[in-house]
Every structure is written in C-alpha cells, then in structure tokens.
Amino acid sequence: MTTMPGPVLGDLDARVAQRLATGGVRYTKGRRLVVRALGRAGGPRSAAELHGRLRPGIPLSSLYRTLTVLADAGVLARSHDGHGVALFELAEWLRGHHHHLVCVECGRVEDVDVGDEHERTLTGVVLAVGAAGDLEVTGHRIDIEGVCGACRA
C-alpha cells in the first residue's frame, strides 16, 4: 500500500473549479488536463514528465504557466527533486496530508499515507522541536529515503 486515492478524487474537478472561481481564474481545458493528470499520479511529478504524458501536446511554456497559475491559486503544491527540478502535486486540501517515499537509486518519489496514530506521534515531536527552536510551526515535510522494490530487483 504505497499510495491511496484521496477520498475526493471523484469531484476533484468540482472542488478545483470552485476554488478557481472564487479567485476569478478560469478553469480551462489545459488546466483541467493538468489537474486530472496529477490526480491520477501517485506522487509529485515534474513539468517534463507531465509534458510527456499529456495527450493533446500542451507546449512546455504553457504547461509551466499553467502549473504556476495553479500553484499560486493554492491548487497545486510545488517541491523539488534531488537535482533541483520542480515537482508538482495536488495541494494538501485536495490530496490529503501525506509524506513521501524517495528511492535513492532511481529518484522516484511516491506518496505515502501515514496512519492517524503515527501522524499524531510525528506531529507531537515536530511541535515540540519547532517550539524549542523558536519557530511558530505551520507544517512539516517528511521524506523517507531508501531503495524501492523495483531497484532491489
């Protein structure tokens, strides 16, 4: 169980549409394609990966602009792989809180849902450590590094 479809993938479009509407941002065909592709993905994806996978060949420049617009609107979250390449995924309020399994061999990143029990434990430590470091904690990001099944084979 390395991935889990969020409970809301069904009305993903509807939720994104509403969010964009309140910001006066249009939910165009290209933007829909990107959101759906990321909804299907099991982890954060780069612009290049999305560009290769999206069928009606969206030009890279438009894709980058779309990703930026969606990120600015709070629909997508942006992170980076081990080489500084930008990765995009659905924002937490769409995808649900989760962390990442990172393969140190192939670099692949996959979502992992931590159970409530474990998440409570993590949050407790994070809050304590952040407070001790004079940080007003707003969130945390955990990457679990190792060798994935495919790379072990």
Whether the Cβ atoms of residue 148 and residue 103 lie closer than 8 Å to each other: yes
Write the binding mask 10 to 29 for DNA: x where contact by CB under 7 A, - elsewhere: --------------xxx-xx
The single residue among 29, 80, 93, 97 that binds a copy of itself, judged by CB under 8 A, is 80
Give the Cα separation of 5 and 43 in Å (integer): 11
Q: How far is CA 132 from its chain centroid? A: 29
Give the Cα separation of 153 and 151 in Å (integer): 5
In degrees to the nearest 10, what's the CA dihedral of 95, 96, 98, 100?
0
By the rule CB under 8 A, 148 interacts with a copy of itself: yes
* Closest residue by Cα to residue 70 from 48, 89, 51: 89
Task: Report the length, in residues, of the chain.
Answer: 153
With respect to a copy of itself, which residue has the nearer C-beta, 63 or 101? Answer: 101
Give the interface segment with a copy of itself, choosing from 10-18, 24-32, 89-97, 99-107 (CB under 8 A): 99-107
By the rule CB under 7 A, 70 interacts with DNA: no
Give the interface segment with a copy of itself, choosing from 23-31, 49-57, 68-76, 108-116 (CB under 8 A): 108-116
Give the Cα separation of 36 and 54 in Å (integer): 10
Give the Cα separation of 127 and 71 in Å (integer): 26
Q: Closest distance between DNA and the C-beta of residue 119, in Å?
A: 29
By the rule CB under 8 A, 125 interacts with a copy of itself: yes
Which residues, 25 to 64, sit near a copy of itself by CB under 8 A?
Answer: none
The single residue among 7, 61, 136, 153 that binds a copy of itself, judged by CB under 8 A, is 136
Contact residues: DNA, CB under 7 A: 24-26, 28-31, 46-48, 58-62, 64-69, 84-86
